[in-house]
Amino acid sequence: MTTIKKAGNKFYVGEDVKTPLAEITYVESNRSLVVIDHTYVSDELRGQGIAGELLEQVVLYAREHNKKIKPLCVFAKKRMEDTVEYHDVLAQ
């Protein structure tokens, strides 16, 4: 299991929030909407499912705060559309 940290409007992997090994960033555009705008995974972590773990953290955050998610990031958009379990927080 990867250690995922939260700082501001991002979840990330690594020791330094400014230079993470992987991250997913979002903007809270209003009280009920989270917009995922970026996902990054370094070459050394790629292929290990880290991006999916980061997305799961945003989904959990949205559920805990009664928010919907609008994924602008291509990865997050595809994964959320393809994962039925995420449809409860996917903004239409």
CA angle at 45 for the pair 12 and 75, rounded to the nearest 5°: 65
Q: For position 27, which CATH number holds?
A: 3.40.630.30
Count of structural domains, the chain: 1
pLDDT of 1 higher than 80: no
Q: Is residue 91 part of a domain?
A: no
This prediction has a pTM of 0.95
40 assigned to some structural domain:
yes
**Tens-place pLDDT, residues 27-79:** 998 999 999 999 999 999 999 999 999 999 999 999 999 999 999 999 999 99
- Full 3-state SS string of the chain: CCCCEEECCEEEECCCCCCCCEEEEEEEEECCEEEEEEEEECCCCCCCCHHHHHHHHHHHHHHHCCCEEEECCHHHHHHHHHCHHHCCCECC
Residue 42: inside a domain:
yes
36 found inside a domain? yes
